Chain A
Amino acid sequence: MASNPMEQFTVHRIGPEIKIAGIDLSFTNASLFMVISASIILLFLFFGSKEKKIIPNKIQLIAEIFYNFVAKMISDTAGSKAKPYFPFIFSLFMFVLFCNMVGMLPYSFTVTSHIIVTLIMALFIFVAVTIIGFLKHGFKYLKIFVPSGVPAILLPLITIIEIISYLSRPVSLSVRLFANMMAGHTMLKVFGGFVVSLGILGGWLPLGFSVALTGLEILVAFLQAYVFAILTCIYLNDALNLHH
């Protein structure tokens, strides 16, 4: 009965095959869950902003809490200069959060557990932040690799380390989210498999673990969305306000 814990991550085509210029762009289960997550966000925001009440109802209150949460996160980490990027950070946070949360439902697909998805988001952020940095500061933006107050003898080494750390940003950002989601879901599946294979007598212990892990995974789902968004804010802060 125990099935492969990695099977939940397989992508398969839904509907007809779409090929544009020889590239397979078919609608898959991953695409389906992206659409579902985005639809849930849009529905939630629709009902959250439909009635403009002075005293908000529950859904409006939750939408406003999300708004204030992200707004505070941005102003705390990147300051007032980051205000034009608020819609992007908000969309990013909501998308990652809802993809993670939708992935917690049984038989669903976790979009963010795929390296290609997180890598594209991280690469976009990396490229965008770098472009913003160069647009705002010109070549002075390269100062980000040369921290001030470092002894001259250490400077070449520090600069190399800074460059490496800057270039590894998209990798760390994407792998963090992908690995967390994949590991959590694999673990859940493995413990679920144990419940089935150990049967009614021995299955209670892994079942308990499964329940506890589900709680933990919901926490991780929120936390990783938050971390993803806040790291984006921090990178944006580096590009907007040169500290070095």
Chain B
Amino acid sequence: MRSFLSLSLALTAMSTNLYAAEAGMPQLDPTYWASQAFWLILVFLILYIAISKFYLPKIKDNLDNRENKIKEDLEYANKFKEQSEAKAKEYDTILKNAKKEVSKIHFESKNILDKDIQSKKEIMEKDIEKEILKAKKEISELKKNSITSIQSISESIVSDIIENISGNKLNESSIKATVEDISKKNINKYL
């Protein structure tokens, strides 16, 4: 294996050297220098003209278009953003005003209601007082009436009782005086 390797390496080196010695560097052979120069200049000139006149302007246009488009779109987006911000502000102010109005209305109606309630309350209180006074009067009248009626009833009851017990009719005026006397003593307990 090793001998094979060294043999093949030696063979390669030999053959390479052989050919190299024969050919040298083809780059230094001036036979086709003029031809290469001529074709290089020709091809490069055509390439240069085609690139500078047709392709680069196209690519540049395209790149500029894209940049402009992006710029425009960004501008549009900014404009829309500003608009939406303005709208949002407007909305906010409307909302604030509405809130203010609502609170104002609320306050006013509350005031009106309060006043209304107050006045109604006063009227009611007056009415109630009147009624109370009336009722008091009626009560006191009733009391007076009831005292006289109690007296007369008690006089008749007393005369009836005495009559039934003793069988004699007593003097009405004396009964009346006695009842009056007793009722005067006790009436204050009940009134």
Contacts and interface: CB of A to CB of B under 8 A. Distances in A.
A121 B59 CA distance: 26
B13 to A, nearest CB: 9
Contact of B19 (A7, A30, A54, A111): A7
Contact of B12 (A30, A56, A111, A197): A197
A206 B33 CA distance: 34
Contact of A182 (B27, B35, B63): B27
B116 interface: no
A55 B61 CA distance: 14
Interface in A19-74: 23-28, 30-31, 34-35, 38, 41-42, 45-46, 48-49, 52-54, 56, 60, 63-64, 67-68
Q: How large is the interface on A (under 10, 10 to 19, 20 to 34, 35 or more residues)?
A: 35 or more
B61 to A, nearest CB: 7
Interface stretch (B47-55, B76-84, B128-136): B47-55
A202 B44 contact: no
A6 B24 contact: yes
B23 A7 contact: yes
Given A2-B12, A2-B15, A193-B16, A31 B27 contact: no
**Dominant secondary structure at the A interface:** helix
B109 interface: no
A34 B65 contact: no
B185 interface: no
Contact of A198 (B8, B36, B61): B8
B30 to A, nearest CB: 8
Q: How large is the interface on B (under 10, 10 to 19, 20 to 34, 35 or more residues)?
A: 35 or more
Interface in A167-213: 178, 182, 190, 193-194, 197-199, 201-202
Interface in B31-70: 31-41, 43-44, 46-48, 50-52, 54-56, 58-63, 65-66, 69
Contact of A202 (B8, B24, B58, B66): B8
A3 B19 contact: yes
Interface in A145-162: none
B165 interface: no
Nearest to B7: A197
Given A49-B62, A199-B8, A26 B35 contact: yes
A67 B59 contact: yes
* Centre residue among A5, A54, A91 by max chain B CB count within 10 A: A91
A87 interface: yes
Given A6-B26, A190-B16, A116 B36 contact: yes
Contact of B47 (A67, A91, A190): A91
B155 to A, nearest CB: 125
Contacts of A201: 1, 4
B55 A49 contact: yes
A120 interface: yes
Contacts of A26: 32, 35
A86 interface: yes
A198 B58 CA distance: 53
Contacts of A198: 5, 8-9
B51 A23 contact: no
A104 interface: no
A47 B150 CA distance: 133
Interface string A68-84: 10000000000000000
B27 A114 contact: yes
A230 interface: no
Interface in A77-102: 86-88, 90-91, 94-95
Given A68-B63, A116-B27, 6 more contacts: A25-B38, A31-B36, A38-B44, A117-B36, A190-B16, A198-B9
